[in-house]
Amino acid sequence: MSPGLIHVQSEVHFHDLLKKNELVVVYLKAEWCGVCTRFGPVVERISKEKEKVLFLIVDVDKSPTIQKELKSKAMPTFVFFLDGKEFSRIDGASEQMLQNYTETLLLQKQPSFMENGILHIVKEKDFNESLKNHANCVVDFYADWCQPCKMIAPSYEELAKNTTDVLFMKVNVDNLRNVMTKCRVTCMPTFCVFKDGKMKEKIEGGSMQLLKKAIDDFKLSTVEYTKRDLMAAEAEIKGSASKSGTEKNKATMSPKTSSTGKKANPTIAQPPTKSAHQVSSSSSTKKSTTSSTHSNNNPPKMDASPQKPKVVKKEASSNSTPPRASQNILTSPYLSSVPPFRSPHKEQKVKKQKSPYLN
């Protein structure tokens, strides 16, 4: 076993190793996990290649408290620590991702560097300080797997060499997810143009023509351009959208309705109830329905003749609920194709007619 790979024996042992080492990768596994068994040799090989990183192996069955502390719900899980604090994590087994994330962890102990007139950002701290210390900044968000990013790289370097009073930076989104999320970058390549710490333009797709125009706009001194801040505007829109959604959910709830939902919502229209004394005076209604004025000694006679079902149409009301399909099956807007209604009594008279419900 290599010195960079240690099996954690207890929770105290785990926290002691985190305090004494700056760069740590915690590998949570289980004996019943087949993927973990196959991935074990990969972890051991990478731990030998990355001598400056300490790899800790935690068996979740033997150390459930550590699993709970790290909020691991899938096996395997890799949690990366920088100076005792969680830096990033991977849920699942991917050798390439483990290599990339470990390399990113190593870069955190290295300073950002200049190359071909471009500042390559390694830490989020360096990114924030660059925006504060330079009035005009351009950031190229890229990824190693992005082919368009590689195509525009020479043009970006040429523009950086020929432009003065502007700091050109590059950010690898796989290494600095926090910066990508902060700038709300969703595709690669993306150029973000900053002036006095405020984002003035966001150019998706890597258009050099639009980037040059955005750099020329640094000379603008209008009130609209000075106040423009895309990051703050997008954050405000997102916050207002979530707030309006919360207020909408509260508005639909009744103040009398409990969390258990036992009481009915008064905003929902209830079907009208008829009194037992409301009896129709028409003779046709008396024959087909049971009147509430009949006594118990003289029960009403039931009409044995079959009656054709009637379709009762209810008047539309702004407070009433949408009609169900059973209320008006012929004209219901919620059904796309319904066979025509046929009375079963008519079906007995026409014996040779086939049922419309049979193919």
Structure tokens at 257: 């309705």
Helix (H) or strand (E) holding 171: strand 167-172
Full DSSP string of 21-79: -SEEEEEEE-TT-HHHHHHHHHHHHHHHH-TTSEEEEEETTT-HHHHHHTT--SSSEEE
Q: Other CB atoms closer than 10 Å to residue 208's CB: what's the count?
A: 14
State the distance between the two ends of the chain, measured CA to CA, in whole angstroms.
Answer: 72
Nearest to 92 by CA among 104, 80, 75, 79: 75
Given a contact cutoff of 8 angstroms between Cβ atoms, the answer to whether 277 and 265 are in contact is: no
Instruction: List phi, psi (to 5°) of 58.
Output: -120, 120
Catalytic residue among 146, 183, 187, 192: 146
Spatial distance between the Cα atoms of 163 and 169, rounded to a whole number of angstroms = 13
Given a contact cutoff of 8 angstroms between Cβ atoms, the answer to whether 76 and 25 are in contact is: no
Given a contact cutoff of 8 angstroms between Cβ atoms, the answer to whether 55 and 47 are in contact is: yes
Compute and round to an integer the Cα radius of gyration of the chain.
36
187 is catalytic: no
Given a contact cutoff of 8 angstroms between Cβ atoms, the answer to whether 162 and 171 are in contact is: no
The answer for residues whose C-beta is within 8 angstroms of residue 204's C-beta and 6 or more apart is 186, 187, 190
Nearest to 122 by CA among 143, 133, 106, 136: 106
Question: Residue 265's Cα: distance from chain center in Å?
Answer: 30
146 is catalytic: yes
Q: b vs e for 38-61, b when ≥16 Cβ sit within 10 Å of the residue's Cβ? A: ebeeebbebbeebeebbbbbbbbe
Catalytic residue among 36, 137, 149, 192: 149
Q: Is the peptide bond before 76 cis (omega within 30 degrees of 0)?
A: yes
| Residues tagged active-site | 146, 149
